[in-house]
Amino acid sequence: MEPIDSVGAGIATWMDQMPPGVDPDVEAARQRIGRIARLFERLLERVADEQQITLGDWEALSVLQRSGPPYERTPKQLADALALTSGTISVRIERLTRAGLVEPVPAADGRSRPVRLTARGRRHWAEATARRTAEELRLFDAALDRDGLARLNALLGGLLSRLEAELGPVSQHDQPRIR
């Protein structure tokens, strides 16, 4: 017998409250996807805390790392990638600079002076990411075999493709919730 998750345990009661015509399988799938996303966010927060950074700081480091050598972006590019205001990104850059994880790059215009990952920042990002991916592997391996994971990816890929075709693309960067 399959274990019952929180959605499975409550979907019948929830469906009793829904308007007529709501498909219970679609509702259950949507709720599961949302809860899984929130639980992965919880995992990210835990790993960030273990690394003594905020989830937002980790995401900024990730944007810089993904940019490739020389691992730098202007504050505006960072703010756009993270969907943050210029004031919020300034505070984040200042905090990361004080921690020695990023450093300013000389530029003609001080307002748009790029920042780059330091060697320490790259190590910190790599350690946090290695910890995250190890935890994710452990969780997936406990729930699915390799064939199940391949089927899940195929199913989610089809759903994501359809949603993107209907609703447009979303950021390729995971967006931490602003609290």
Instruction: Give pLDDT tens digits for 125-134.
Output: 999 999 999 9
Average pLDDT, the chain: 91
Q: In sequence order, what are the beta bridge partners of 102?
A: 117
Alpha carbon 68 to its chain centroid, in Å, reads 19
Give the span between the Cα atoms of 179 and 154, in whole angstroms.
Answer: 33
Q: How does pLDDT run across 93-150, given as a tens digit for each residue? A: 999 999 999 999 987 666 678 999 999 999 999 999 999 999 999 999 999 999 999 9
Asked if pLDDT for residue 179 goes beyond 50, the answer is no
- With beta carbons less than 8 A apart as the criterion, state whether 57 and 115 touch: no
Structural tokens at position 77: 């590019």
pLDDT at position 178 is 45
According to the model, what pLDDT value does residue 4 have?
A: 84
Which of 130, 123, 112, 132 lies closest to 72 in space, CA to CA? 112
